[in-house]
Copies of this chain bind each other. A is one copy, B any other.
Amino acid sequence: MTKPKSPARKKASYTVAIDLGGTKLLVAVTDEQHRVLASTKVATDVAGGADAIVTQMVKGIRKATRKADIKLRHVSAIGACVPGPADPATGMVSRAVNLGWDTPIPLAAKLSRALNDVPVFLENDVNAGTYGEFVAGAAQGKQDVVGVFVGTGIGGGLVLSGALRRGPRFIAGEVGHFPLQADGLLCSCGNRGCVETLASRTALERNIQAALAEGQSSVITELMEARGKSRITSGLLQRAFQAQDPLVVSLVAEMAHYLGLLTATLVNILDPQLVVFGGGVVEKMGDNLLDLVRAAAYDRLMMQQDFHIKAASLGDYAGVIGVAALAREAFPAHD
């Protein structure tokens, strides 16, 4: 007896999702259970403008569908998330600094046109990441969730009563710019002392480098030399923290303190059940970092019960899983 060619799978509805970043684009084929069947990464060529990026996106999609062994006609919708304010209703990106876009781009229409009019759903990347954690990650089962992503900056997304909060101007969730030090460091937003200047991964690395330059000693120096690294990676931070390196422990505690203040503020304003923290440093350090954030946050909460802080669980895939789910909801398969 010959094995049938799994017709059920071929008939199923797939969603392709793209997380479009300033340095790379991640393409994933997902199924109805939010599983990633195949994925691929392509370096982003920002210099060529929007049309060149659309061409790259199309190439990435063809590569990912080939890897997943499916045809484009089995794809019911495409989701794309972008590093800027995005309007899902019109499919417009209003601006995206990391992509060099300072005027509105009809990205969904361009991409759809290049792919036989497959419907394209557009979302902001941090919103999509938060939604991913909500549908399939650390925030599953909660209806009110704030996602905080700690990286070069600090970004955030809001799921309130089970729906993404985008805001009428699609800028909701900019949690990185609340002022904690009126006379603090200049922030990328033009103001001073935003939490992003105090508690981002960039801020932590800057503070460590400054202390080393001042002659303070740290196991970080040896770890970097031993591994031939010029940057302080999240992995090195975690090793130094576990070795109880006084400099790293004290600067991570400072970072956690500010993340705790941010968390408490978000909770007192929005009353979520959960704040999910993502980003490389959170992934590597996990509860070593989050226990300090919890301590700082709980100290300031108006109500402590029924509120939790957790690490994100989908890593780099949160965005594609989130925007795939949104695309699936917006364009349900008809078969």
List the interface of chain A (C-beta within 8 A of B).
85, 143-144, 156, 158, 160-161, 165-175, 177-180, 182, 189, 191, 261, 264-266, 268-273, 299-300, 302-303, 305-307
Contact = CB atoms under 8 A, between A and B. Distances in A.
Give 7 closest A-B pairs by Cβ, nearest first.
A167-B271, A172-B271, A174-B268, A178-B265, A171-B271, A191-B300, A177-B268
A269 B178 contact: yes
B179 A270 contact: no
Given A144-B167, A179-B265, A172 B306 contact: no
B169 A306 contact: yes
A192 to B, nearest CB: 9
Contacts of A161: 165
A63 B160 CA distance: 41
A179 B305 CA distance: 21
Residues of A contacting B: mostly:
loop
Q: How many copies does the complex hold?
A: 2
A302 B124 CA distance: 15
Nearest to A176: B268
A168 B271 CA distance: 7
B169 A268 contact: no
A179 B179 contact: no
A144 B170 CA distance: 12
A161 B272 CA distance: 17
A93 to B, nearest CB: 14
Contacts of A171: 268, 271, 302-303
Contacts of A269: 156, 158, 172-175, 178, 266, 269-270
Contacts of A302: 171, 174, 177, 189
Contacts of A170: 271
A307 B268 CA distance: 23
A179 B180 CA distance: 7
A307 B169 CA distance: 9
Contacts of A85: 303
A272 B270 CA distance: 13
A177 B265 CA distance: 7
A156 B268 CA distance: 10
A232 B50 CA distance: 60
A125 to B, nearest CB: 16
A270 B169 contact: no
Given A179-B265, A269-B269, A144 B168 contact: yes
A179 B271 contact: no
